[in-house]
Copies of this chain bind each other. A is one copy, B any other.
Amino acid sequence: MSKYIPASQEEKDFLASYDPAKFAPVAVTVDVVLLTIRDGQLCVLLVRRGGYPYKGRWALPGGFLSSREDAETSAWRELAEETGIERGDAHLEQLGTYTAPDRDPRTRVVSIAYLALLPDVAAPTAGDDAADAEFFPVANLRSAKLAFDHDQIIKDGLERAASKLEYTPLATAFCGPVFTISDLRRVYETVWQNDLDPANFRRKVLSVPGFVQPAAAATRRGGPGAPAAVYVPGTAALLHPPLLRPSLRAKLKDTP
């Protein structure tokens, strides 16, 4: 945005005398749903709350929007504080804004949630406000009583991630800088909770323009099996045609 220039002296006076306090106070926080894959399980980063309210409960990492930052910058700052990753080391996108009037017992708090995806590398480090930080498999979260409405935010983040794997090359955000087709397939299988045919998956991925491209490095060996060719992310922002979740196909065919 270009800088705003008042059109008249009258407007200048208006802006100079403007009093923000006349509106009901609203606090704005930025919370981050950080997803990664560890040991074949989709995990979310949670921190234990050190202060009231919900003291001692697990919650999403986050904090108040600081006065001269936009929300995305705040989200990157939270990520850096909790995990040490720098801006650009992960995928980060806005997830949604949560505004239920009673979602925070202190005062009216509106939370802008972000979704971050990153490879399994960074070890979480507890920030100022958090007594502890830990990755939890999302499958075990059903019974956990999280702070605020963070269970709903995580649920929305998981659905967003699963959906975006269909029509964007975002799955590469869960992999390291180079990866094999099998690495990529395991990401899909983990997020979608579906087994995929290795042969068909390979053919599909390689046929979508701009999804992946062969890496300069030769091959990678690990465990049993032939050595695998390695790839790096391609340039496409959208996958066309998309990969479609088998689970949805089955569900929707049943209810015509």
Q: Which residues of A contact B (CB under 8 A)?
A: 1, 3-4, 6-7, 10-11, 14-15, 18, 20-21, 23-28, 52-53, 55, 64-72, 94, 96-97, 99-103, 105-108, 110, 112, 149, 167, 209-210, 235-236, 238, 240-242, 244, 248-249, 252-253, 255-256
When chains A and B are docked, how far (Å) is the Cα of A167 from the Cα of B240? Answer: 13
Can you report 8 A-B residue pairs in the complex whose CB atoms are below 8 A from each other? A4-B102, A20-B25, A20-B108, A26-B65, A65-B110, A71-B110, A210-B252, A242-B242
Complex A-B, nearest 6 residue pairs according to Cβ-Cβ distance, in ascending order: A20-B107, A209-B256, A71-B99, A24-B67, A4-B105, A240-B252
Q: Are B101 and A69 within 8 A (Cβ)?
A: yes
Q: Are A240 and B244 within 8 A (Cβ)?
A: yes
Q: Are A70 and B25 within 8 A (Cβ)?
A: no
Q: Are B94 and A7 within 8 A (Cβ)?
A: no
When chains A and B are docked, how far (Å) is the Cα of A107 from the Cα of B240? Answer: 43
Q: Which residues of B contact A240 (CB under 8 A)?
A: 244, 248-249, 252
Q: In the complex, what's the smallest C-beta–C-beta distance from A169 to chain B, in angstroms? A: 12
A3: nearest residue on chain B (CB-CB)? B102
- Give the residue among A25, A70, A99 with the most B Cβ atoms within 10 A: A99
A19: nearest residue on chain B (CB-CB)? B107
When chains A and B are docked, how far (Å) is the Cα of A84 from the Cα of B7? Answer: 33
When chains A and B are docked, how far (Å) is the Cα of A96 from the Cα of B241? Answer: 26
Q: Are A238 and B242 within 8 A (Cβ)?
A: no
Neighbour of A149 across the interface among B1, B65, B96, B241, CB < 8 A: B1
A11: nearest residue on chain B (CB-CB)? B52
Q: Which residues of B contact A105 (CB under 8 A)?
A: 4, 6, 15
Q: In the complex, what's the smallest C-beta–C-beta distance from A92 to chain B, in angstroms? A: 14
A28: nearest residue on chain B (CB-CB)? B26
